[in-house]
């Protein structure tokens, strides 16, 4: 099939970007979206132009490296699918396909379709862990976790950290990302000791970089792992309770 | 001929690790911050090591070419992690995990290292559960298990089909804690270009900032490579696109010996390549073989839809040839059996390059819901790639390069032949022999990172107490930086007529033909000649667009492919020299009457560790003889 690709090109962080049109006359519908970009990039290189910079690595939907906006949809038209898992059979002959980087103030463009998502790591560093020193753990089966809790924790833990939730949100909020980690750890018995400090600290770090959630729900529909916004409700509840608990139990905090 | 000494303590195997831990020097908590350690790579091995060293109080610098540690390819491991917990009461034990791993590796691994792996496996599960890894649970809240290829017990712990992701996140979170605490300094989007040695000791590394192109040096008391495997030498593999051998290859060029480079595992269950543009193979978890049955049509070239082929006209060839293990034979055996069927014309799919993996019986027996719960995300992945629904018809699967058992040679302390340089995880060669058992790779990475190297590294550090690390303005750093800049410049100025991608594909095709699932002397010789010619062409005709002063993904790739050429040749030389078949290394000249791998224990019961000497035309071979005192080498049988 024949496609027109309208791709965002930007030479560097401080450079002005623009859309460029590329005619791709012979797209095999069985190939993946990124394989189509590979083919185009190789052609550009051979024609003396710069290939399109885009991030990708595992190409099986788990590393979270890839992610572009396709025709206005974060990760493209297929629900629950990261860009690398999207295949060209989802498009039709003659389509104009607009490809842009994730847009969010916290994710500045580095080049073409590559953005800087490092603020997500700052949120993790603020408390997205359970403190365990290697060697100090109790026997694994000493901690019983109800199957339902383990399953729900896993639903949240499935987050691949791609940042689609931020890119899809009209406020560029990172609530779904933060909620997924807070809920994953907060649902497990192992995560209880730091539950309240974690919720408070991760949310406060999040707010340094990102906008606020106003319940649009765009994040859930863009999420390649279909992580539920129920977790945002859990986060909000934990955050409010944390405000009480952390003052009452720790007292000394601010 | 150099003989390598692995420095295995002499004690009964059950006590080796305990006694060794006691005999290693200690470094007091107050002194640890006087030592600097560089860790390259943030997969399960690198992240868990950096976090643990940080917790202990060392000053750690950790480097990744990704934008975040969480992207490392450990994330893609699906099926699980083994541990000798014997929670099922089905006859498992530390000794049995040790035994299965030595046997699965076809008696080409080091007994003491494998025993330690099995011992530490128990602690690894404790550690990961405490970190909040959401392993699958039984209704009573206790941990669930499943089986993997090559074993007859259920000892694999799993988190749906994303066990690697969850274990990596556990290590990444532990590392994030140390980064926040300031014990670990993290360098993202920074790629190691070379190792720096001073007086034969590892002194630091030269790196390139992938955003600015700036090349700089970092020095430390010890350098650890946790940079993963090299199966991308085949171009089409299950490895992530950026996985590369440059760090270990640069270490090799600086004196570290590379062991058994020809031992590469071809995984039996990947989604086949149905067209020429395929850029990356996707694995379908080995755990699928617990419930799926592998078959091909009895009649070669049968092009009926699989559902129309009656049971009597299907050849369940693994169940037929290996009744005891059936569909759960080890990977090397399953892959070769599939290749045999495909080569003989029984392959299915548009390019007749795959076999069926069928869940119809399992869905009938267990119900669709159970299958969905066990493998849902893998099934979804399959459907997205192929457009076929695996709940309705069988999957098609094909063998694909997946894991490199070979890697940098290390002793029992995980130290390479360059003092002060260590290698952990897939980057070293130590535990898997000639074939890795499923769910042992996450185990090895975490074992090395959390429990082994944090202890053994004191053997290198303690004697250095009171000495500063070589400063990074030492002339050796300057010289290495200069050479690295020159390599980058050469790649950029060639401006030839073929892209890096083209060369990589050609190299991959050559390698899979001559040094893939089966090898023979003539093919390997021709392969070497072809690789040399291709490499020459690469340096004369490669086209790397852009400059070196900003993000340039073609340039990154060009550097990696350039090193792959050199590694590829060494792999072929190693395969050519090893006149036997063992595990994944199958020389057509050496097989049993039934077509199984035929080892030559008298001639080749050793680790082949290749050295590089500047100016020498051929690599030098050193041997570490392997002794088996606890598991007697036998012809592996899974019948």
- pLDDT, tens digit, for every residue of A128-154? 999 999 999 999 999 999 999 999 999
A251 has a pLDDT exceeding 60: no
Confidence class for position B176, pLDDT limits 50, 70, 90: very high
SS3 state of residue B400: strand
With cut-offs at 50, 70 and 90, classify the pLDDT of residue B363: very high
Asked if B166 lies within 8 A of A81 by C-beta distance, the reply is no
Q: Do A121 and B68 touch (CB under 8 A)?
A: yes
Q: Tell me: do A31 and A125 sit in the same domain.
A: no
Domain extents in chain B: 266-402, 475-601
To test the contact with chain A by mutation, choose from B280, B381, B400, B543 the residue with the greatest count of A C-beta atoms within 10 A, namely B280
Residue A89: closest C-alpha in chain B: B387
**Cα distance between residue B628 and residue B601, in whole Å:** 11
CA contacts within 13 A on the Cβ side of A70: 26
Residue A199 near residue A186 (C-beta atoms within 8 A): yes
**Helix, strand or coil, per DSSP, at residue A112:** coil
- The strand ranges marked E within B557-597 are none
Residue range A38-53: mean pLDDT, rounded? 96
Tell me, yes or no, whether A29 and A140 share the same domain. Answer: no
What ipTM, to 2 d.p.?
0.97
Distance from CA of A124 to the nearest CA of B (A): 7
CA–CA separation, B479 and B555 (whole Å): 21
Q: For the domain made up of B266-402, give the CATH fold.
A: Flavocytochrome C3; Chain A, domain 1 (3.90.700)
B62 touches chain A (CB under 8 A): no
A110/chain B closest Cα distance in angstroms = 8
What single-letter DSSP state applies at residue B323? T
CATH 3.30.70.580 fits B475-601, yes or no: no
**Residue A252: per-residue pLDDT:** 52
A46 lies in the same domain as A108: yes
Out of A57, A83, A114, a domain closes at A114
Under DSSP, is residue B104 helix (H, G, I), strand (E, B) or coil? helix
Q: What is the mean pLDDT of residues B179-195?
A: 98
pLDDT at residue A249, as a whole number? 58
DSSP-derived secondary structure letter, A44: H
Above 80 in pLDDT, residue B418?
yes
Helix or strand run (H / E) with residue A190:
none
Answer yes or no: do A144 and A232 share one domain: yes
Judge: B279–A190 Cβ closer than 8 Å, yes or no. no
Residue A124 and residue A85 in one domain: no
Res. A254: pLDDT tops 70? no
Q: Same domain, yes or no, for A57 and A28?
A: yes
Render pLDDT for B380-399 as a digit per residue (tens, 0 to 9). Answer: 999 999 999 999 999 999 99
**A61, A129, A190 member nearest B381 (Cβ):** A61
Give the pLDDT confidence of A83-124 residue by residue, as tens digits. Answer: 999 999 999 999 999 999 999 999 999 999 999 999 999 999
In terms of domains, do A94 and A142 share one? Answer: no
User: What is the interface size between A and B, counted as CB pairs within 8 Å?
Assistant: 218
Q: Total structural domains in chain A?
A: 2
Smallest CA–CA distance, residue A20 to chain B, in Å, is 18
Average pLDDT over residues B41-61: 98
Q: Which residues of B touch A55 (CB under 8 A)?
A: 67
**CATH code assigned at A221:** 1.10.1060.10
A32/A94 same-domain check: yes
Domain with A228, as residue range(s), is: 118-250
Asked if the C-beta of B52 comes within 8 angstroms of chain A's C-beta atoms, the answer is: yes
What b/e string do you get for B1-15 counting C-beta neighbours within 10 Å, with b at 16 or more?
eeebebebbeeebee
Rounded Cα gap, residues A13 and A20, in angstroms: 18
Average pLDDT over residues B367-385: 91
Give Cβ neighbours of residue A60 (< 8 Å, ≥ 6 apart).
A84, A85, B76, B280, B282, B283, B381
Question: In the listed set A114, A139, A170, which residue is the last one of a domain according to the structure?
Answer: A114
Confidence (pTM): 0.97
- Are A168 and A63 within one domain? no
Catalytic residue among B110, B289, B314, B331: B331
Boundary-marking domain end, from A114, A143, A177? A114
List, for residues B587-638, the tens digit of each pLDDT value: 999 999 988 999 999 999 999 999 999 888 899 999 999 999 999 999 888 8
- Is the pLDDT score of B336 beyond 60? yes
CA dist B240 and B114 (Å) reads 27
Of chain B residues 77-116, which have a CB less than 8 A from chain A?
85, 87
Indicate the pairing of strand B264-270 with strand B395-404: antiparallel
Give dist(CA B99, CA B96) in Å, integer: 5
- For the question of residue B189 being annotated catalytic, the response is no
* Pair A8, A109 in one domain: yes
How do residues B562-594 score in pLDDT, each as one tens digit?
999 999 999 999 999 999 999 999 999 999 998
Cα distances from B260 to residues B45, B245, B405, B625, in angstroms, run 21, 14, 8, 13
A12, A39, A120 member nearest B277 (Cβ): A39
B200: left (phi over 0), alpha (psi -120 to 50) or beta: left
Q: Residue B338's pLDDT is what?
A: 96
Together in a domain, A126 and A243? yes
Q: How many residues does chain A have?
A: 254
Residues A244, A123 share a domain: yes
Return the pLDDT at B131: 98
Strand partners, B39: B62, B224
CATH of the domain at A82: 3.10.20.30
DSSP state of B244: -
User: DSSP string spanning B139-166?
Assistant: TTSSBP-B--TT-SS--EE-STT-HHHH
């Amino acid at each position: 099939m024949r496609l027109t690709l309208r791709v965002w090109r930007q030479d560097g962080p401080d450079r002005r970007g623009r859309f460029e049109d590329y005619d791709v006359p012979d797209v095999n519908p069985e190939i993946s979206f990124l394989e189509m970009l590979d083919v185009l990039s190789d052609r550009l290189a051979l024609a003396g132009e710069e290939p399109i910079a885009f991030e990708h690595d595992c190409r099986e939907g788990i590393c979270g490296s890839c992610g572009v906006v396709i025709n206005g949809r974060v990760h493209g038209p297929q629900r629950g699918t990261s860009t690398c898992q999207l295949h060209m059979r989802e498009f039709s002959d003659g389509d104009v396909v607009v490809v842009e980087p994730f847009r969010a103030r916290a994710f500045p463009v580095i080049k073409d379709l590559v953005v800087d998502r490092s603020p997500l790591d700052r949120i993790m560093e603020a408390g997205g862990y359970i403190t365990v020193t290697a060697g100090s753990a109790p026997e694994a089966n000493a901690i019983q976790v109800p199957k339902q809790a383990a399953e729900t924790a896993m639903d949240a833990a499935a987050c691949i950290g791609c940042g689609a939730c931020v890119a899809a949100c009209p406020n560029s909020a990172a609530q779904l990302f933060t909620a997924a980690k807070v809920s994953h750890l907060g649902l497990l018995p192992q995560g209880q000791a730091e539950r309240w400090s974690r919720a408070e600290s991760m949310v406060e770090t999040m707010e340094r970089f990102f906008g606020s959630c106003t319940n649009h729900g765009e994040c859930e529909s863009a999420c390649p792992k279909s992580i539920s916004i129920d977790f945002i409700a859990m986060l909000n509840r934990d955050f409010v309770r944390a405000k009480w608990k952390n003052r009452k139990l720790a007292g000394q905090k601010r | 001929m150099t003989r390598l000494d692995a420095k295995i303590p002499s004690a009964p195997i059950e006590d080796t690790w305990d006694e060794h831990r006691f005999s290693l020097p200690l470094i007091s908590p107050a002194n640890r911050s006087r030592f600097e350690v560089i860790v390259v790579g943030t997969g399960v091995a690198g992240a868990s090591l950096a976090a643990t060293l940080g917790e202990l109080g060392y000053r750690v610098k950790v480097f990744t070419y990704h934008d975040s540690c969480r992207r490392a390819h450990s994330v893609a491991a699906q099926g699980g992690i083994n541990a000798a917990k014997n929670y099922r009461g089905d006859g498992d034990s530390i000794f049995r995990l040790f035994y299965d791993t030595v046997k699965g590796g076809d008696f080409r691994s080091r007994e003491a290292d494998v025993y330690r792996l099995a011992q530490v496996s128990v602690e690894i599960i404790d550690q990961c559960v405490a970190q909040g890894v959401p392993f699958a649970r039984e209704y009573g809240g206790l941990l669930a298990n499943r089986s993997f290829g090559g074993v007859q017990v259920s000892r694999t712990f799993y988190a749906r089909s994303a066990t690697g992701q969850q274990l990596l996140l556990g290590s990444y979170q532990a590392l994030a804690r140390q980064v926040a605490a300031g014990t670990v300094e993290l360098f993202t989007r920074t790629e190691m270009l070379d190792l720096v040695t001073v007086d034969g000791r590892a002194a630091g590394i030269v790196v390139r900032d992938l955003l600015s192109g700036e090349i700089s040096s970092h020095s430390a008391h010890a350098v650890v490579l946790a940079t993963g495997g090299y199966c991308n030498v085949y171009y089409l593999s299950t490895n992530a696109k950026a996985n590369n051998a440059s760090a270990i290859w640069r270490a090799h060029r600086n004196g570290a010996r590379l062991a058994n480079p020809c031992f590469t595992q071809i995984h039996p269950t990947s989604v086949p390549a149905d067209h020429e543009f395929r850029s990356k193979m996707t694995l379908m978890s080995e755990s699928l073989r617990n419930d799926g049955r592998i078959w091909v049509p009895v009649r070669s070239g049968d092009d009926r839809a699989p559902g129309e082929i009656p049971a009597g006209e299907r050849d369940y060839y693994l169940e037929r040839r290996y009744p005891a293990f059936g569909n759960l034979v080890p990977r090397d055996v399953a892959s070769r059996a599939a290749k045999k069927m495909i080569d003989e014309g029984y392959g299915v799919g548009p390019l007749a390059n795959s076999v069926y993996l069928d869940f119809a019986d399992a869905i009938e027996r267990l119900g669709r819901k159970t299958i969905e719960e066990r493998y849902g995300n893998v099934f979804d992945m399959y459907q997205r790639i192929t457009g076929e629904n695996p709940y309705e018809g069988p999957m098609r699967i094909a063998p694909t390069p997946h894991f490199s058992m070979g890697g940098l040679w290390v002793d029992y302390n995980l130290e390479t032949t360059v003092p002060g340089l260590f290698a952990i995880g897939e980057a070293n060669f130590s535990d898997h022999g000639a074939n890795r058992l499923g769910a042992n790779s996450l185990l090895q990475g975490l074992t090395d990172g959390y429990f082994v190297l944090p202890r053994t590294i004191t053997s290198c550090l303690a004697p250095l107490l009171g000495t500063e690390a070589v400063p990074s303005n030492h002339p050796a750093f300057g010289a290495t930086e200069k050479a690295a800049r020159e390599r980058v410049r050469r790649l950029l100025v060639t401006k030839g007529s073929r892209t890096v991608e083209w060369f990589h594909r050609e190299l991959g095709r050559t390698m899979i033909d001559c040094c893939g699932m089966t090898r023979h002397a003539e093919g390997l010789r021709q392969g070497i000649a072809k690789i040399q010619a291709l490499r020459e062409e690469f340096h004369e005709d490669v086209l790397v667009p852009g400059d070196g002063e900003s993000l340039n993904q073609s340039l990154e790739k060009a550097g990696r492919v350039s090193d792959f050429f050199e590694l590829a040749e060494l792999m072929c030389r190693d395969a050519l020299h090893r006149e036997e078949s063992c595990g994944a290394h199958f020389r057509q000249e050496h097989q049993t009457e039934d077509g199984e791998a035929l080892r030559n224990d008298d001639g080749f019961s050793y680790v082949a560790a290749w050295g590089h000497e500047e100016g020498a035309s051929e690599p030098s071979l050193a041997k570490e003889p392997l002794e088996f005192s606890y598991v007697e080498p036998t012809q592996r049988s899974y019948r």
